Amino acid sequence: MAAKKKKTLFSKFRTWAVKLLLIFFAGSILAVLIARFVPVYFTPLMFLRAAESVFDGEKPKIVRNWASIDKISPNMIQAVVASEDNLFMEHNGFSFSDIEKAIKHNKKGKRIRGGSTISQQTAKNVFLWPRRSWVRKGLETYFTVLIEFFWTKERIMEVYLNVAETGEGMYGVQAASKTYFGKNAKNLTKSQAALIAVCLPNPRKYNPTNPSSYIQRRKNHIVNLMGKLNQVRFD
């Protein structure tokens, strides 16, 4: 009798687990499909940063201005590819060579370097939370596969450039361009685009208008690399 009852409970648990998984898969695919066509105005990171401000007794600050890809300078696109993901147009969401390079670099105990592609960063920024964990990394991998399947490379780049954190309470390159350089993202020069790009790994620490010697060196390297890489084209 006890064995039969235990089997019944396990059966119910398995049924509910399967239902929850199906709901998760269906919901996640639906969310990815919606974000394929609708501007992403709010992300989990924005919520977390706003909550941090409230807990610190400060007024939440969210500065963002959505800009379609045709309203963003090709210099900005080229800069983030040079800085964050050289193989963006070639891979299917993951660059194992960059992951290997990041592991070797980090073993040397220098500045921590990530191996995430622009696709992975977009998946994390839009659908997940910032803190690192194996669970988040697993979900990041899952959502990366989804956006690479359902979105175009152009859409991935467009969303990335609009939701990436670019300063304290600031998101997207249009907001960064207006704040730091007083111009629209469409009119960014190579140098200005490179400065925004090299600050992306830690935008609350680095400032494009007051760059440290490290940021200046990185900027010069990225500007040089921008000219060597193939021009990013989405047509």
What was the pLDDT predicted at 115?
Answer: 74
What was the pLDDT predicted at 17?
Answer: 86
What was the pLDDT predicted at 81?
Answer: 98
Longest dimension (CA), the chain: 76
CA distance 156 to 153: 5
- In sequence order, what DSSP letters do the residues of 88-124 get, joined into one string? TTTSSS--HHHHHHHHHHHHTTSS------HHHHHHH
Identify the structural domains of the chain with CATH numbers, from first to last.
39-228 (1.10.3810.10)
| 45 close to 130: Cβ distance less than 8 angstroms | yes
Chain center to CA of 212: 24
What was the pLDDT predicted at 100?
Answer: 60
The list of the chain residues with pLDDT below 50 reads: 105-106
Q: Which burial class, exposed, middle or buried, applies to 13 when counting CB atoms under 10 A from its CB (0-12, 13-18, 19+)? A: exposed
Chain center to CA of 118: 6
* Per-residue pLDDT reduced to its tens digit, 46-86: 999 999 999 988 899 999 999 999 999 999 999 999 999 99
CA distance 58 to 56: 6
Name residue, tokens 């499909």.
Answer: 33
CA distance 125 to 46: 9
What was the pLDDT predicted at 7?
Answer: 62
Strands 63-64 and 170-171: what pairing? parallel
